[in-house]
Amino acid sequence: MSYESQDIEQEILSTLFRFLARFPSKAEKLTAQTSLTADLTLDSVSMMELLVEIEDHFDVGMPLNAMANVHTVQDLADQIKSLLENRS
Amino acid sequence: MSISDRFAELAHIRDSLGSLAADPSRVVMERFLSPTEAVIGNRPTILVGTNNYLGLTFDPGILNAACDAMHAEGSGTTGSRMANGSFSSHAALEAEFAEFYGVPSAMIFSTGYQTNLGLLMGLLKPGDKVVLDAHSHACIYDGCRISGADFFAFQHNDPEDLRKRLRRLGPDAKGALVIAEGLYSMWGDTAPLSDLCAVAKEFGAWLMVDEAHSFGVYGEKGLGLCEEAGILDQVDFITGTFSKSLASMGGFCVSRHPEMKLLRYGSRPYIFTASSSPASIAAAHAALRAIRSRPELKVRLWANAERLHRGLTGLGYRLASPPSPVIAVQVPSHEEAARMWNALLDEGVYVNLVVPPAAPEGASLLRCSLSAGHSFAQIDSIVAAFNTVRDGAAVPLSQSAG
């Protein structure tokens, strides 16, 4: 992975941590491996609201079908990174 | 997840309804007294949650048509049209839908759910792009999901958000499929179809509109919201169901594109499902002719909708939308919604209890669907029941949900 790619990934993760900070967490600390559903107990409504915020921030469209493979913060970051790469 | 885990998950859902003492699956209609009244728990109950918009389920002409068809063509088709062949009644109904809409293509399916599934699975391939209203019915989501297409939700009834979503698709917006409904079944609000259509066309996208709850009740001829919005010549696919205004079971899709009929060769929910029974087809066909020849049904339905809306508004209830055949009372919590739903049933009024996730955006609803078959006396009884059950509420509903 190039430095540039790592930087982008870190920036995405930091942004996600900022968005996710408002949700009650069972985990001691938010990490890339934090589960969106098990640790953060995001219900479907909160998840949809969160997605809209993330999409607006990065100006990308997240396919709902892709969300079936998103379980952790890292999964979400990977999706966003892939969408940004495909856009450019 | 193992099957036993899944059973445990389903039991949890059932128990959560049970803890509210409001499991709608326990409601059994023991005997029908009319299209709008049945005996439930040994008590005559007004039905205001059955989507029987035109009240045609006991219409003598429709019953006779269904009985005659059953005697002439049998009780079932025993297979799919691609395997067993079509009955002339299937083809005749498709021809009448095409003629009614003035389009070259019409197909009928075995249920409303399968209509949207069949259209979407037939049209879409993995990698295709779909932008759908966030409040779309489950069968639209399911059709998109099974097709393998990439699908995105735009904010409910928001043409600007649709524009934003299409813009983000870049070159893929051209040829994407945009999906909206006419009348949304939970809130009872209608789509801004002419604005949505303009945005879709601006990007070169296709437009599909599901008129499941609006066919027969909107538009001068009863063709639905697309007719009322004046976009019949621009919308690409219109779907609908037989199980509401058409008082039967099945669904239809019409299109201005002659190629739509090619879906017979590639829509698995069409190919691999038994075709609708002769009685269902005959009932739907007779109901379609009633919609065309009896505009007074629609007039009566709207008078009832406006009367109920006025009555509930007068009691201080928060309603989700202006008068329409679906009137949804917004309730602050699902526990309160369940209490009121039970109390209404005790008062002899059956409405739909809608709690998250079935209700969009986390609201709980007591959903009423009006019928042309309701009398004004029944509407007044429904309002009186809502007045009685409100008295048990801790705070007036008009002040509670902020």
In 3-state terms, chain A is what percent helix, strand and coil (to 5)? Answer: 60, 0, 35
Q: Domains in chain B: how many in total? A: 2
DSSP state of B186: T
Reduce the DSSP state of residue B24 to 3 states and report it.
helix
* Residue whose token pair is 């045609």: B56
Measured torsion, CA atoms of residues B212, B217, B219, B223, in degrees rounded to the nearest 10: 50
What's the sign of the alpha-carbon dihedral B374, B380, B383, B388? Answer: negative
Sheet containing B177-181: order of strands: B105-109, B251-255, B237-241, B206-210, B177-181, B129-133, B150-154
Interface of A with B in 10-69 (CB under 8 A): 43-45, 48, 52, 55, 59-66
Dihedral pair phi/psi, residue B234, rounded to 5°: -115, -30
Cβ–Cβ below 8 Å for B168 and A61: yes
B172-226 per-position pLDDT tens digit: 999 999 999 999 999 999 999 999 999 999 999 999 999 999 999 999 999 999 9
Residue B35 belongs to a domain with what CATH number? 3.90.1150.10
CB B381 within 8 A of CB B344: no
The number of beta carbons lying within 10 Å of the beta carbon of residue B315 is 15
What's the pLDDT score for residue B19?
Answer: 64
| Residues of B with Cβ-Cβ distance to A87 under 8 angstroms | 170
Cβ–Cβ below 8 Å for A45 and B356: yes
Residue of chain A with shortest Cα separation from B166: A61
Range of the domain at A17: 3-87
B64-74 per-position pLDDT tens digit: 999 999 999 99
Same structural domain, B230 and B310: no
What's the pLDDT score for residue B20?
Answer: 65
Range of the domain at B32: 3-58+295-400
Same structural domain, B244 and B353: no
Same structural domain, B178 and B302: no
Measured torsion, CA atoms of residues B99, B104, B107, B113, in degrees rounded to the nearest 10: -90
Helix axes B376-390, B296-314, angle to 10 degrees: 20
Same structural domain, B127 and B246: yes
Chain A contact for B170 (CB, 8 A cutoff): yes
- B151, B155, B361: residue with CB nearest A65: B151
Cβ–Cβ below 8 Å for A66 and B150: yes
Residue from B125, B168, B177 to probe the interface with A (highest A Cβ count within 10 Å): B168
Residue of chain A with shortest Cα separation from B172: A87
Residue of chain B with shortest Cα separation from A87: B170
Q: Which residues in chain B come in under a pLDDT of 50?
A: 393-402
Same structural domain, B306 and B370: yes
Dihedral pair phi/psi, residue B94, rounded to 5°: -60, -40
What's the pLDDT score for residue A29?
Answer: 85
Prediction ipTM score: 0.85
Same structural domain, B273 and B176: yes
Interface of B with A in 104-163 (CB under 8 A): 134, 141, 144-145, 148-153, 155
B95-114 per-position pLDDT tens digit: 999 999 999 999 999 999 99
Which residues 6+ apart lie within 8 Å of B214 measured at CB? Answer: B181, B182, B183, B190, B224, B225
| Residues of A with Cβ-Cβ distance to B160 under 8 angstroms | none
d(CA B132, CA B124): 14
Q: Domains in chain A: how many in total? A: 1
Same structural domain, B347 and B256: no
Last residue of a domain, one of B293, B322, B347: B293
| Residues of B with Cβ-Cβ distance to A85 under 8 angstroms | none
Same structural domain, B177 and B280: yes
Residue of chain A with shortest Cα separation from B131: A63
Same structural domain, B99 and B14: no
Cβ–Cβ below 8 Å for B168 and A48: no
Residue A35 belongs to a domain with what CATH number? 1.10.1200.10
A31-83 per-position pLDDT tens digit: 999 988 788 877 777 888 888 999 999 999 999 999 888 999 999 999 999 99
What's the pLDDT score for residue A8?
Answer: 87
Q: Please name the helix (run of DSSP H) or strand (run of DSSP E) that holds residue B109, with its range, or none.
A: strand B105-109
Same structural domain, B127 and B51: no
Last residue of a domain, one of B238, B262, B293: B293
* H helical segments located in B3-59: 3-19
Number of cross-chain residue pairs from A and B with Cβ atoms under 8 Å apart: 34
Same structural domain, B138 and B242: yes
Same structural domain, B281 and B155: yes
Which residues 6+ apart lie within 8 Å of B178 measured at CB? Answer: B130, B131, B132, B162, B166, B196, B199, B200, B205, B206, B207, B208
Residue B112 belongs to a domain with what CATH number? 3.40.640.10
CB A32 within 8 A of CB A52: no
Strands B129-133 and B150-154 come out as parallel
